[in-house]
Structures are given as C-alpha cells and as structure tokens.
Amino acid sequence: MVPVTGVSGLAIVAGAVLGLGLWLLVSAMPRVGRPRLMERVAPYVADFSDGARASLERRVVDPTPVLGLLVLPAGRRLRDGLSQLLGGNETIARRLRQAGSTKRVERFRAEQLAWSAAAFAVATALVLISPSLQALPTVIRMVAPVVAAALGAVAADWLLQRAARRRLARISAELPTVLEFLTLSLTAGEGIFDAIRRVARAGSGELPAEFARVIAAVGTGVPVASALRELRDALAHPALSRALDQILGALERGAPLAGVLAAQAGDAREESKRTIIELAGRKEIAMLVPLIFLILPVTVAFALFPGYLVLQTGF
C-alpha cells in the first residue's frame, strides 16, 4: 500500500476540485442540436398530458444539489453559531427596524459573511505577498486571516448599530415637535387617527415616516391600537414608548388625549434639553484634546523660539 504524503494528498484534493469544476461547466453548457417535435409541442399540452409533463421535467446532472445536502447542515450550524456570537436574530431584526432598513435578517447575515470573507481574502493576500509580513512568525501569519474575518463580521454589526443609534437620535430630536403637532390637531377636534395621518402627510422626518407606516397598516385593516403597539415594540425607543403607552392607555380608558400628549411633549422637550446639556459637556471635554495637544504646544513654541534664537546667536 502506497502511503499518502502531503504532496499526494494535495494532488488528490486538487484533482477532485478540478473534476468538480469541469462537471459544473459541462452541466451548464447548452445542448447542441435541434429540439425534437415532441419537445416543441410539450409546453402547449403539458396542462392535460402526463407524458408532456414528464418530458418537460428537468433531468438534473448538476452536482450542486448533492453538495448542498452535504454542506447544508454544517452551514446551518455555522450560521447559528455566528448568530449567537454576534447577537441573536431578534436583536438583528430590531436593529434593522431601528435603522429603517428594509433588509431581512438572512440578507444581513449574508452581507456579514461577505464582509468576513473579503477581510479573510485581503488578509491572506497580504500575508502571502507582503515581504514585511512574511518576516512575522508562522503562528501570527496563520491567525491573522482568522482575526481579520472576525473583525469584518464585527465591523458589519457595528455599522448597523451605528445606523440604528443615529436614526433613534433623529427620532428623539423630532419627538417633541411631533407630539406638540398631535396635541394641536387633537385640540382642534380631530381624532387620534386623523391627527397621526396629518403628521404623516405634513412631516418629512423619521418619525412621520413611521406614522405613515401606521396609517398604511390601519388602511389594511389593522386596529389603531395594534398598529401603535407594533410601532412601540419595533423601535424600542424609550421616550416614544412612554408616549405611545400613554396614548394606548388613554384610548383604553377613554381619557382626553390632548392633555396626555401635552404632558408627554413637555417631558420630551425637557429630556431633549438634558440630552443637549450632556452632549455639550462631553464635547467640552473633547475640545480640550486639540487645545492641549495642538494649540498649546504651538503657542509655547512661538513664544520660546525667538528667545532661543537670541540665546544661540548671543552665545
């Protein structure tokens, strides 16, 4: 029995990959030759002819279904592990909804996998091509593509979180104005549905767009309370959730909505002021960085450099 060495094992794997690629190419090539009369007539009689339907059935010679059955369980385990590591599907779905994206969780996972594959390929190419990286230890060169792939997946998740945070911040900025507009509409005698529809038509921000979704859902037969509850659970915005809870409670008890929304608008305005003050405090600390490390050294240099020149020329 001939022992299988590393070179022969690599040759076996390369031969298997080459054969599989040739099989895929041959299966994808169109058939050469004129179709028979039965094949041309079969599409027109397939509705009532079993023989025509059997003739039109595609005869599969492609190996990809077999490979799919073999690889699918491993792919599912990898996908589930990635989902648990980078956040569950519910968390990703909530972030996509908060970011205003129309993507599904599966599409985002596919894009995340593409980010990982691209980072892995770039890191592998750099490790193999760059002379400076080839001087590193072998362990580091082997681990670098894996780390790059993990960073690619994390980067895609971070970008999604950033988009969700920015959109929630815009909703927070729009919330006091929208609540005050709803209060004015209710005080003028309109109902809650008409007031929400007026905001959705007159506004152009993120929150009016969400109210437009509520109007569309109510138009398809969903109750107003259920549509508002779905908006509250989907966005999970604290201030908006409190306002919607007050609206839902007032609708259930029959309380006047104008006073409730006026109080919520005042609370949202105060919270917006507190957020601005906290942001100003953080920015004030951040402004010290260029002041200390850029402006102050340049000022000291301009103040001391003439004296230094005088001392050099005098002595």
- Can you give the residue range of the structural domain that contains 250? 166-275
For the chain, what percent of residues have pLDDT higher than 90?
16
Is a pLDDT exceeding 50 seen at residue 74? yes
Please state, in angstroms and rounded to a whole number, the distance separating the CA atoms of residues 92 and 109: 9
* Average confidence (pLDDT) over 264-280: 84
Is a pLDDT exceeding 50 seen at residue 1? no
Please provide the average confidence, as pLDDT, over all residues in the chain. Answer: 81
Q: Tell if the pTM clears 0.95, that is, is over it.
A: no
287-312 tens-digit pLDDT:
888 888 888 888 888 888 888 787 77
Q: Is there a domain that residue 115 lies in?
A: no
State the CATH number of the domain containing residue 251.
1.20.81
Q: Is there a domain that residue 240 lies in?
A: yes
* Average confidence (pLDDT) over 131-139: 77
Top-confidence residue, 46 or 172: 172
Number of domains, the chain: 1
Q: Is there a domain that residue 310 lies in?
A: no
Q: Is there a domain that residue 216 lies in?
A: yes
Q: Is there a domain that residue 260 lies in?
A: yes
Q: Is there a domain that residue 185 lies in?
A: yes
Please state, in angstroms and rounded to a whole number, the distance separating the CA atoms of residues 164 and 103: 13
Please state, in angstroms and rounded to a whole number, the distance separating the CA atoms of residues 243 and 250: 11
Please state, in angstroms and rounded to a whole number, the distance separating the CA atoms of residues 207 and 198: 13
- Least confident stretch, 21-35, 93-107, 146-160: 21-35
Please state, in angstroms and rounded to a whole number, the distance separating the CA atoms of residues 116 and 181: 46
Q: Is there a domain that residue 24 lies in?
A: no
Distances (CA, A) of 24 to 16, 61, 63, 69: 12, 9, 7, 16
